[in-house]
Amino acid sequence: MNITDKKYQEIVDYISGELTAEDKTNFEIWLNSSEKNKNAYQQILRKTLYTRWSLKSTQVNTELEFNKFERRINKRVRYLSFAAVAASIILLFSIALPFLLNDGAVEDNSIAHSVQIEPGKRGAELFLSTGESIKIEEGIKEIREKDGSVIQIDSLKGVEYSAESKTKLEEIYNTLRVPRGREFDILLADGTQVWLNAESELKYPVQFVGGKRQVYLKGEAYFDVTPNKEKAFIVHSYDQQVKVYGTEFCVNSYNQNEIKTVLVEGSVGVKANSKGIETKLKPGELGLANLVTGEMDVKKVNVRPYIAWKAGDFVFENESLENIMIRLERWYNVKVFFMNEECKHFRFTGDMERYSDVKDLLFFMQRTSNAKFEINENAIIVMAK
């Protein structure tokens, strides 16, 4: 390509849209004056477009977008039923009444406010062994820990640790903190994948050097543990310990007085505290740990409501409004106020997308119960009708 440096610059500037109107006209005259000029331009254009497309393609997470697409084309039945356990006949009356009078539509006005409450999105903060912290919001980064391990940080794909470090083996810890209104996932050095829900934190060794693989969780996480018979994988949440034998499960320790462990696949042993006896869970079982007494309560459950968040859904089965609103607080990063205590005990069953507008859910609950919702700035106010 025989063009001057100046011309090269001009072509690049033209493609970038950085030429003045006059320069642009002159450039186009030059461009159209010969085939040779056109070829030179085309070569540089190809290069800039390839570069642009290749770089931007990393910003598209096809898996995630595909899930979104699936949800859009599958019009599932979102809301299954409404179970009024605490509420009595009076409540049933008030549900029926608006329908009988056919004025249910009037009610949604009270929810609708111009303020947009955004659903959660991906993001986290990573704390290195040096105490340095890195905010993960967008883009890709690669860093090296002091033991030589390589950490790949990709806002879309998650955090990933290299399987080996270069220097001598020492156990150093990193912490991934996911704030309210965020979720994130991480691939540990042994290949174990962990999904962290909003307002959760996981502390883990950069390389699993010792005889056990031990991690520390606050909040909620879903684990897909790489099997390794020689090195047990142990999840500590406060005093509870879950010992894993290669498996998929979810630990919810938002409420320290009642840590929930749900087993999806494989086998785990749970100890409510260091002195407790290990209780084995089978797939489809929920373990409720009492940290004070060291006792474990095990029951058979439908696992979906416990793990649906990982797949981008909100599922609740006969759950109290109080608990539902706590979950909304974390995911939509809002504050919830109950004007009337009795509303806390209303129970609902439902299934919705986690990424959708919170108003859809509030509207449904308002239509089918005695509760009324109002959005005010970044707060949701719950009151009795």
The least CB distance from residue 32 to other proteins, in Å, is 8
The least CB distance from residue 148 to other proteins, in Å, is 19
By CB under 8 A, tell whether 59 contacts other proteins.
yes
- DSSP type of residue 371: E
The least CB distance from residue 182 to other proteins, in Å, is 17
Q: Are strands 279-281 and 248-252 parallel, antiparallel or unpaired?
A: unpaired
Q: Which position among 23, 34, 46, 146 is part of the footprint of other proteins (CB under 8 A)?
A: 46
Q: Which position among 26, 36, 55, 297 is part of the footprint of other proteins (CB under 8 A)?
A: 55
By CB under 8 A, tell whether 22 contacts other proteins.
no
Yes or no: say if 211 and 229 are a contact pair by the CB < 8 Å rule: no
Q: Which position among 23, 26, 28, 278 is part of the footprint of other proteins (CB under 8 A)?
A: 28
Binding region for other proteins (CB under 8 A) out of 51-59, 114-122, 168-176, 263-271 = 51-59
Reduced to 3 states (helix: H, G, I; strand: E, B; else coil), residue 252 is: strand
- DSSP type of residue 81: B
By CB under 8 A, tell whether 51 contacts other proteins.
yes
| Dihedral angle of Cα 202, 207, 210, 213, to the nearest 10 degrees | 40
By CB under 8 A, tell whether 52 contacts other proteins.
yes
By CB under 8 A, tell whether 93 contacts other proteins.
no
What is the Cβ-side half-sphere exposure of residue 1, based on CA atoms within 13 angstroms?
A: 14
d(CA 161, CA 188) in angstroms, rounded, equals: 5
d(CA 194, CA 50) in angstroms, rounded, equals: 34
d(CA 216, CA 235) in angstroms, rounded, equals: 6
Element (H, E) at 297: strand 296-300
Yes or no: say if 247 and 270 are a contact pair by the CB < 8 Å rule: no
Q: Which position among 20, 57, 102, 109 is part of the footprint of other proteins (CB under 8 A)?
A: 57
By CB under 8 A, tell whether 35 contacts other proteins.
no
- Residue number, 37 or 320, with CB nearest to other proteins: 37
Give the orientation angle of helix 358-368 with respect to helix 321-332, to 10 degrees: 170
Q: Which position among 26, 33, 36, 60 is part of the footprint of other proteins (CB under 8 A)?
A: 60
Nearest CA among 262, 298, 253, 307 for reference residue 283: 262
The least CB distance from residue 381 to other proteins, in Å, is 31
- Residue number, 57 or 88, with CB nearest to other proteins: 57
Which residues on adjacent β-strands are paired with residue 289? 259, 296
Nearest CA among 377, 378, 374, 376 for reference residue 365: 374
Name which of residues 290 to 329 contact other proteins (CB under 8 A).
Answer: none
Q: Which position among 23, 33, 34, 49 is part of the footprint of other proteins (CB under 8 A)?
A: 49
How far is the CA of 281 from the CAs of 218, 231, 307, 336, in angstroms?
A: 21, 20, 16, 35
Q: Which position among 33, 34, 36, 50 is part of the footprint of other proteins (CB under 8 A)?
A: 50
Name which of residues 120 to 159 contact other proteins (CB under 8 A).
Answer: 139
Q: Which position among 22, 72, 116, 341 is part of the footprint of other proteins (CB under 8 A)?
A: 72
The least CB distance from residue 132 to other proteins, in Å, is 19
Binding site for other proteins (CB under 8 A): 1, 5, 8-9, 12-18, 24, 28, 31, 41-57, 59-60, 62, 65-66, 68-69, 72-73, 139
